[in-house]
Chains A and B, each alone.
Chain A
């Protein structure tokens, strides 16, 4: 993956990291405001500044990730904060249209 221009500075270091240990050393990457820089796995950007290592399609993993509160600023976590998230859409793969933003528009 050496040919990838990195999405950000830390991801550039990640390009060169070969083992999982090395990957963990460079995780505190800068990212665009609004995105999470958590990347094990990431929500919108993978550790290599691309999309290849994300849960794709995201619907297949949405509730698995939401349960775990892995990206609480991106996906409502059903563990503590939004226990009702997804109630109306029990099968994310089929019913993704019913998933709603938890914050109302003002």
Chain B
């Protein structure tokens, strides 16, 4: 396709009316031209219309996946490409050789940079592949069997230790990867899929408009905000965010979003002077955006966010009320109009304040209200199970339950990698026993945070003194990088710790624990782990 000719032909028939239509083919034609100009010194044209470029056309992946491959072309292969051209190629490939929303389900933690995820893949993949990097990096790609095989050859050449590690050197790693793993990957993660074929046919919704967003920021708490998106170009939006945290502190920011493959929302914003990122997925109906927002320079400091466009409730905070207790509850959402109903056993004493995005009520749970989860209604919309009525907090779980932090800083180039915790309360449920199937999840509860040595070794080595500190909001900051001459063999400020969260409920203190390994830096920073 010749970009100029196409554009000229279209413009000739009425530039204004067709302006919207011109953008996409023009962008695509530009990207194809860049691929021809920049990539074909090494790659070749296949002559097949459906798969025109060797090694490039028979794989599909996320925007991050494409970014990673093309960065390798620059860093390892010698590709020369400008930042603008690279962005255009990533956009084109992620749009035309991307993943359907359903193909990313259950794996979005990798894109969202969710910390401390413990993965579980089947044994063959776990043993052969999930040893150096995440399994989701693999499961978020789709390839023909030949392309999965090419990938294995690339690994063998590039990372020859793959066959020397324990768990590889005792078997024919390369043969297993080629003859067992590649066909399995081609079956589980095929290049041609119904999901992608039908997603490509879906007319993608414009995401312009006013959104009601609810989210959580470690150290600051939950927030409600309106997010206004204005389309500036095809798949590109200017953003204005305005709202407040649960304690009333205002929050405001501006930024930009790009949407890949019709739903992969990637935004950069500056909120109150801090650079943040959003990795969200738009729903097919264009009415919700869900994912994670985190600080650009400290990806641990982030939390889930959800934004809605139509009439909906996004959250009820807090999500629990104790029998006999009187409490302020905030219902967040969009177009919140009409009467508030909290469910049986709960009395609405007073509507303290309300607007379309936020209703604050004073509620009271009767002494004998039934223990269980209630549906909250505002006018015609309802949020199922959004409010738990409980008797006592029987158990506290700390999330994440297994975690790492990494030493850093101290004038060095690699910053400390923190970890952040929250306490989730549970009531015992009908059987009266905590830790069983019928426990009632109450939601996130405020907690006091302390550290202790994980075991005798950690106690003996005095890890607690060196490995770092936890603050009142459950944010752990690890120790400084570098040798520590005070420690045995000048070891680093690493440590094996337990994080203890204490929730006070009435007169009782209930504790939960999580494991925290404070370990060394990671020198490679990939686009996705």
Of chain A, the residue at the smallest CB distance from B414 is A101
Give bound CA distance, A76 to B132, whole Å: 12
By size class, the interface of chain B is: 35 or more
In the complex, identify which listed stretch (B91-99, B186-194, B518-526) lies at the interface while the others stay far away.
B518-526
- Which single member of B134, B412, B490 contacts A99 (CB below 8 Å)? B412
Closest A-B pairs by Cβ, 8 of them: A27-B167, A28-B127, A44-B519, A40-B166, A103-B525, A73-B132, A27-B166, A34-B529
Within the complex, the shortest CB–CB distance from A42 to chain B, in Å, comes to: 9
Please indicate the chain A residues that have their CB under 8 angstroms from the CB of B491 in the complex. Answer: 56-57
CB-CB under 8 A for A51 and B517, given A27-B167, A33-B136, A73-B132: yes
A-B contacts besides A38-B131, A45-B404, A97-B412, 20 pairs, CB < 8 Å: A28-B131, A33-B136, A33-B529, A38-B132, A43-B520, A51-B496, A51-B517, A58-B520, A72-B159, A73-B132, A74-B132, A74-B524, A96-B483, A98-B413, A99-B413, A99-B414, A101-B414, A102-B523, A103-B525, A105-B525
* B489–A57 touching, CB < 8 Å: yes
Give bound CA distance, A23 to B133, whole Å: 21
Which residues of B in the span 306-340 have a Cβ within 8 Å of any Cβ on A? none
Please indicate the chain B residues that have their CB under 8 angstroms from the CB of A58 in the complex. Answer: 492, 520-521
In the complex, identify which listed stretch (B48-56, B113-121, B390-398) lies at the interface while the others stay far away.
B113-121
* A32–B117 touching, CB < 8 Å: yes
Please indicate the chain A residues that have their CB under 8 angstroms from the CB of B116 in the complex. Answer: 32-33
Give bound CA distance, A74 to B414, whole Å: 13
Please indicate the chain A residues that have their CB under 8 angstroms from the CB of B158 in the complex. Answer: 72, 80-81
Tell me the A residues contacting B by CB distance below 8 Å: 3-5, 7-8, 23-24, 27-28, 30-40, 43-45, 49-52, 54, 56-59, 68-77, 79-81, 85, 93, 96-103, 105
Please indicate the chain B residues that have their CB under 8 angstroms from the CB of A3 in the complex. Answer: 455-456
Give bound CA distance, A30 to B167, whole Å: 13
Give bound CA distance, A69 to B132, whole Å: 11
Give bound CA distance, A81 to B161, whole Å: 13
Q: Which of B412, B483, B526 has the most CB of A within 10 A?
A: B483
Of chain B, the residue at the smallest CB distance from A36 is B132
* B119–A33 touching, CB < 8 Å: yes
Q: Which of B402, B458, B483, B520 has the most CB of A within 10 A?
A: B520
Chain B contact residues: helix, strand, loop or mixed: loop
Interface flags, B140-177, vs A, CB<8A=1, else 0 = 00000000000000000111110001110010000000
* A77–B159 touching, CB < 8 Å: yes
Please indicate the chain B residues that have their CB under 8 angstroms from the CB of A52 in the complex. Answer: 457
Give bound CA distance, A32 to B109, whole Å: 12
Please indicate the chain B residues that have their CB under 8 angstroms from the CB of A37 in the complex. Answer: 130-131
- Which single member of A24, A69, A101 contacts B166 (CB below 8 Å)? A24
- In the assembled complex, B422 has its CB within 8 A of some CB on chain A: no
Please indicate the chain B residues that have their CB under 8 angstroms from the CB of A38 in the complex. Answer: 131-132, 165-166
Please indicate the chain A residues that have their CB under 8 angstroms from the CB of B529 in the complex. Answer: 33-34, 73
CB-CB under 8 A for A80 and B489, given A30-B119, A73-B526: no
* B483–A33 touching, CB < 8 Å: no
- In the assembled complex, B126 has its CB within 8 A of some CB on chain A: yes
Within the complex, the shortest CB–CB distance from A76 to chain B, in Å, comes to: 6
Give bound CA distance, A82 to B161, whole Å: 15
- In the assembled complex, B479 has its CB within 8 A of some CB on chain A: no
Within the complex, the shortest CB–CB distance from A73 to chain B, in Å, comes to: 4
* B482–A97 touching, CB < 8 Å: yes
Please indicate the chain A residues that have their CB under 8 angstroms from the CB of B120 in the complex. Answer: 30
- In the assembled complex, B278 has its CB within 8 A of some CB on chain A: no
CB-CB under 8 A for A100 and B166, given A30-B126, A34-B134, A56-B492: no
- In the assembled complex, B226 has its CB within 8 A of some CB on chain A: no
* A96–B482 touching, CB < 8 Å: yes
Q: Which of A8, A54, A57 has the most CB of B within 10 A?
A: A57
Please indicate the chain A residues that have their CB under 8 angstroms from the CB of B404 in the complex. Answer: 32, 34-35, 44-45
Give bound CA distance, A52 to B489, whole Å: 12
- In the assembled complex, B236 has its CB within 8 A of some CB on chain A: no
* A103–B159 touching, CB < 8 Å: no
